[in-house]
């Protein structure tokens, strides 16, 4: 194992993540709950921990409070001690928007003093919003073996998806010889995962050359490929950027497959069970006589009286009598009153669905949300944090109910497909 003392980790966790819609109105994307009682950032933090690395800077920006509360002292991931630590690095915000991070490279550039204060042979740069397991120690060994200045984790993706990524063309040794950022006409199926290892001194020189170069994928990586040794570290396994509603829903559903590629427990992914009293104060889940649960993940503190099919329930969810839940993600402490139906929906924390109400009704899943057509277009309906859907209301597909909405905010008890309240 490469000693963690020789490596610094910078975890980028400041993105707005607006494509997750109501889930990011009050929290940063890496703080969005996932798989019951984890948060998205737990996967990156646990990969760092399991790889034996111990010095971490977490770069925050957008709505960081719940993320900071979740990280705490870092104890949940064993980042406490004389040579271990996790440090929150907010932007050096002044009075102007221009003081905020302009891109991934600019975020790291604004924290050069932190890098210099933690001398390390290599700096690993990760994103806080991916679901995956990776041995970063193996990637570091690869980086040193190739005598690379930069190593980029890359994986094969379908050509139809490559336009979402940075794409690299490699030679026989695995060195990247050409780079295209989000190519419209792809020449390769090798996609960047946004995970980098830099020789630290090389990274510092690159950052200080041109302050107008604000993004790794757009600016610094192409420049490095032209001049120096940049290698592709091949990754084989499950990895998903859960930055859209569709990808977030699909990753949660992937958990439920019989031959699932995601296994947070087997992967050694740790949550912070003491943050928000998620698990430690919860009773075991209770299943009433006559309830039906199939192919679902049910967390501690849930009470199930109705039917739950192919769904993920976070701690404390109450599913009342004759309630039907299908293909849905329901976050902490939601209450579904008697006779309610929740079909293909995502409910944020502490949502209440009134008796007999229907969330996700109708066969038309292809009419997108009128306000956010690029967020909701496959039939998923989203209910924001602490909203209350009145009894007997019927909400269609691809709808959005904003956080904190109450019964009096509903213009009628029938909300057509694609509408927003």
**Model confidence over 352-367: pLDDT tens digits?**
999 999 999 999 999 9
**Out of 95-104, 171-180, 282-291, 388-397, least confident range:** 95-104
Burial (0-12, 13-18, 19+ Cβ within 10 Å), 290: exposed
The single residue listed with the structure tokens 């009773």 is: 283
The listed CATH number (3.30.479.10, 2.160.10.10, 3.30.360.10, 3.90.1150.10) that belongs to domain 282-415: 2.160.10.10
Please list, in sequence order, all residues whose beta carbon lies within 8 angstroms of the beta carbon of residue 2, skipping any fewer than 6 positions away: 52, 137, 140, 141, 144
Give start and end residues of each alpha helix (H) in 235-386: 245-255
Q: What distance in Å separates the CA atoms of residue 378 and residue 344, rounded to the nearest whole number?
A: 9
Strand partners, 8: 123
pLDDT value, residue 281:
77
The alpha carbon of residue 341 and the mean position of all alpha carbons in its chain are separated, in whole angstroms, by 27
- The token pair at 97 is 């928007």
Residue 5 banded pLDDT, cuts 50, 70, 90: low
Q: What distance in Å separates the CA atoms of residue 416 and residue 398, rounded to the nearest whole number?
A: 9
Give start and end residues of each alpha helix (H) in 122-173: 136-145
Q: How many CB atoms lie within 10 A of CB 128?
A: 24
pLDDT value, residue 95:
45
The residue among 63 and 293 whose pLDDT is bigger is: 293
pLDDT value, residue 290:
96
How confident is the prediction for the chain on average, in pLDDT?
Answer: 92
pLDDT average, residue stretch 106-135:
94
pLDDT value, residue 212:
83
pLDDT exceeds cutoff 50 at 400: yes
Residue-wise pLDDT for 196-207, tens only, equals 999 999 999 999
Residue 81 banded pLDDT, cuts 50, 70, 90: confident
Chain region(s) in the chain for CATH 3.90.550.10: 4-255
Max mean pLDDT range (12-26, 73-87, 255-269): 255-269
- The token pair at 132 is 């995956």
pLDDT exceeds cutoff 90 at 93: no
pTM above 0.85, yes or no: yes
CATH number of 4-255: 3.90.550.10
The residue among 151 and 93 whose pLDDT is bigger is: 151
pLDDT value, residue 157:
93
Chain region(s) in the chain for CATH 2.160.10.10: 282-415
What share of the chain in percent tops pLDDT 70? 95
The single residue listed with the structure tokens 């139809």 is: 160
pLDDT exceeds cutoff 60 at 315: yes
Residue 279 banded pLDDT, cuts 50, 70, 90: low
Residue 417 near residue 379, CB atoms below 8 Å: no
Residue-wise pLDDT for 233-245, tens only, equals 999 999 998 989 9
The beta strand positions in 201-344, using DSSP E, are: 230-234, 239-241, 286-287, 292-294, 297-298, 303-304, 307-309, 312-313, 318-319, 324-326, 329-330, 335-336, 341-343
Residue 210 banded pLDDT, cuts 50, 70, 90: confident
pLDDT average, residue stretch 247-254:
97
Q: How far apart are the first and last CA of the chain?
A: 53
For residue 6, give the DSSP letter. Answer: G
Can you tell me whether residue 350 is helix, strand or coil? coil
Strand partners, 57: 10, 87
pLDDT exceeds cutoff 90 at 22: yes
pLDDT value, residue 65:
85
Q: What distance in Å separates the CA atoms of residue 407 and residue 388, rounded to the nearest whole number?
A: 6
Residue 213 banded pLDDT, cuts 50, 70, 90: confident
């Amino acid at each position: 194992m490469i000693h963690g003392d020789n490596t610094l980790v910078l975890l980028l966790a400041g993105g707005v993540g607006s494509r997750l819609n109501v889930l990011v109105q009050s929290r940063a994307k890496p703080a969005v709950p996932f798989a019951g009682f984890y948060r998205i950032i737990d996967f990156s933090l646990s990969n760092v921990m399991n790889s034996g690395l111990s010095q971490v800077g977490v770069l925050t920006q957008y709505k960081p409070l719940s993320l900071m509360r979740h990280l705490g002292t870092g104890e949940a991931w064993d980042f406490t001690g004389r040579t271990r630590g996790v440090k929150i690095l907010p932007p050096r915000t002044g009075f102007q928007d221009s003081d905020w991070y302009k891109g991934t490279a600019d975020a790291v550039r604004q924290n050069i003093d932190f890098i210099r204060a933690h001398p390390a042979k290599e700096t690993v740069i990760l994103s806080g919003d991916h679901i995956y397991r990776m041995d970063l120690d193996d990637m570091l060994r690869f980086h040193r073996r190739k005598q690379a200045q930069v190593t980029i984790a890359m994986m094969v993706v379908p050509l139809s998806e490559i336009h979402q990524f940075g794409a690299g063309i490699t030679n026989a040794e695995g060195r990247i010889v050409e780079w295209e950022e989000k190519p419209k006409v792809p020449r390769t199926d090798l996609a960047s995962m946004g995970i980098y290892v830099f020789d630290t001194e090389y990274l510092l020189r690159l950052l200080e050359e041109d302050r107008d170069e604000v993004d790794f994928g757009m600016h610094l990586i192409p420049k490095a490929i032209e001049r120096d040794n940049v290698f592709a570290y091949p990754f084989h396994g499950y990895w998903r950027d859960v930055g859209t509603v569709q990808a977030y829903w699909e990753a949660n559903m992937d958990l439920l497959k019989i031959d699932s590629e995601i296994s947070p427990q087997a992967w050694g992914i740790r949550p912070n069970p003491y943050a928000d009293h998620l698990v430690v104060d919860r009773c075991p889940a209770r299943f009433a006589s006559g309830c039906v649960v199939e192919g679902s993940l049910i967390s501690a503190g849930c009470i199930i009286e109705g039917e739950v099919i192919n769904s993920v329930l976070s701690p404390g969810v109450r599913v009342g009598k004759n309630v039907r839940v299908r293909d849905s993600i329901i976050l902490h402490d939601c209450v579904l009153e008697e006779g309610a139906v929740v079909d293909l929906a995502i409910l944020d924390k502490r949502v209440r669905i009134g008796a007999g109400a229907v969330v996700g009704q109708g066969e038309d899943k292809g009419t997108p949300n009128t306000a956010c057509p690029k967020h909701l277009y496959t039939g998923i309906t989203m209910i924001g944090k602490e909203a209350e859907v009145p009894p007997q209301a019927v909400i269609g597909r691809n709808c959005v109910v904003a956080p904190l909405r109450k019964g009096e905010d509903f213009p009628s008890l029938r909300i057509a497909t694609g509408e927003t309240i």
